[in-house]
């Protein structure tokens, strides 16, 4: 990152505690750039689009989720066990704490919630690292309280590692990943693999994939026939595409794109969270920021955030892409 940018942040005090974006004479603080490898990306991101810094000072921001009725974005700060809320009008406010761990230990590394989603009834669904479960917040979105119902805690009587990211299909089936990132050294690992699962509406947990070393981000194609998985393994930094049948079972799989060789000192990050645009294009966090991939696996460009980037998410109408990048909440306007 450029030294001048760090100086601006330090002058504003943005590196100390989470706070909303500050500006001088209402100038927008920006960071990074857009790498354009194919002209197709211009239909998604205009050539004059800039990456805005909306908030900063988090330990590891994750799980951005747009709440249309509140015109707000909520996102997690996993190490601090909190969820934050950002709006254009009111800037930044604490939304929920605790978010992923309800116990008394204060020495857990990543206790908070990670990925977030809404079910068909508008309930907040959370991948809760500390509790090692997929949970549902019991209170309304407008008045959040740290009261949860466990939707899934394990597979075949064995406790999950730490559910990480999730996505619903139109049938109400929930697909989620379970790497070990939320586990502490004293946690007992019950499963000898890192799984990708499907939770059905009757509460049954189905194992779909057990062959990936670090399954992380997850998404569905617009026709819901393809399940995309990001693998955050530095030796095998890849994105996978799995074909699904009508019941939501995996019938075949392939490597969509291999990003292993893109890792460098200047391109931080691994395949992590991802979201699928209505056009079918995949916005996948990885080396350098957010890679934009075609459904065929062609890399058409990268939103270069200058930080390790954890996840991203659209607002309604896909007018903006919000990105959680290390200690920053970022935004770029889309066409």
Instruction: Indicate if 272 belongs to the active site.
Output: yes
Judge whether 62 is annotated as a binding position: yes
Which of 212, 100, 101, 204 has its CA nearest to residue 155? 204
Please tell me which residue in 233, 272, 315, 326 is annotated as part of the active site: 272
> Is residue 271 within 8 Å of residue 286, measured between CB atoms?
yes
For residue 96 the two structure tokens come to: 């929920």
Which of 99, 101, 148, 98 has its CA nearest to residue 123? 148
Which of 126, 9, 119, 1 has its CA nearest to residue 63? 126
CB atoms within 10 A of CB 140: 11
Nearest-angstrom CA–CA distance, 38 and 263: 20
Nearest-angstrom CA–CA distance, 124 and 298: 33
Judge whether 216 is annotated as a binding position: yes
List active site positions.
272
Provide the annotated binding site for substrate: 164
Provide the annotated binding site: 62, 164, 216, 272
Provide the annotated binding site for a divalent metal cation: 62, 216, 272
């Amino acid at each position: 990152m450029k030294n001048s940018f760090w100086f601006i942040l330090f002058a504003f005090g943005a590196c100390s505690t989470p706070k909303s974006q500050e500006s001088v004479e209402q100038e927008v603080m920006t960071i990074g750039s857009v790498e354009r490898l194919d002209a197709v990306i211009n239909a998604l991101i205009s050539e004059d689009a800039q990456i805005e810094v909306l908030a900063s000072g988090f330990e590891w921001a994750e799980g951005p989720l747009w709440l249309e009725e509140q015109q707000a974005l909520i996102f997690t700060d996993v190490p601090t066990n909190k969820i934050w809320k950002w709006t254009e009008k009111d800037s930044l406010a604490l939304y929920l704490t605790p978010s992923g761990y309800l116990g008394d230990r204060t020495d857990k590394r990543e206790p908070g919630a990670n990925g977030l989603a809404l079910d068909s009834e508008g309930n907040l669904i959370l991948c809760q690292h500390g509790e090692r479960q997929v949970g549902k917040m019991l209170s309304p979105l407008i008045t959040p309280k740290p009261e949860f119902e466990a939707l899934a805690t394990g597979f075949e009587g064995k406790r999950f590692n730490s559910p990480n990211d999730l996505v619903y299909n139109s049938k109400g089936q929930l697909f989620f990943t379970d790497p070990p990132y939320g586990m502490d050294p004293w946690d007992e690992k019950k499963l000898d693999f890192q799984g990708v699962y499907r939770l059905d509406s009757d509460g049954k947990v189905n194992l779909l994939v057990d062959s990936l070393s670090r399954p992380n981000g997850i998404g569905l194609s617009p026709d819901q026939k393809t399940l995309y998985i990001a693998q955050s393994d530095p030796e095998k930094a890849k994105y996978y595409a799995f074909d699904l049948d009508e019941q939501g079972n995996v019938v075949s799989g392939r490597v969509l794109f291999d990003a292993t060789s893109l890792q460098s000192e200047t391109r931080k990050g691994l395949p992590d969270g991802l979201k699928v645009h209505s056009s079918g294009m995949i916005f996948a966090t990885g080396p350098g920021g957010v890679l934009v991939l075609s459904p065929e696996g062609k890399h058409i460009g990268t939103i270069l955030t200058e930080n390790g980037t954890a996840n991203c998410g659209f607002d309604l109408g896909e007018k903006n892409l919000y990105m959680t990048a290390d200690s920053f909440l970022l935004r770029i306007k889309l066409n």
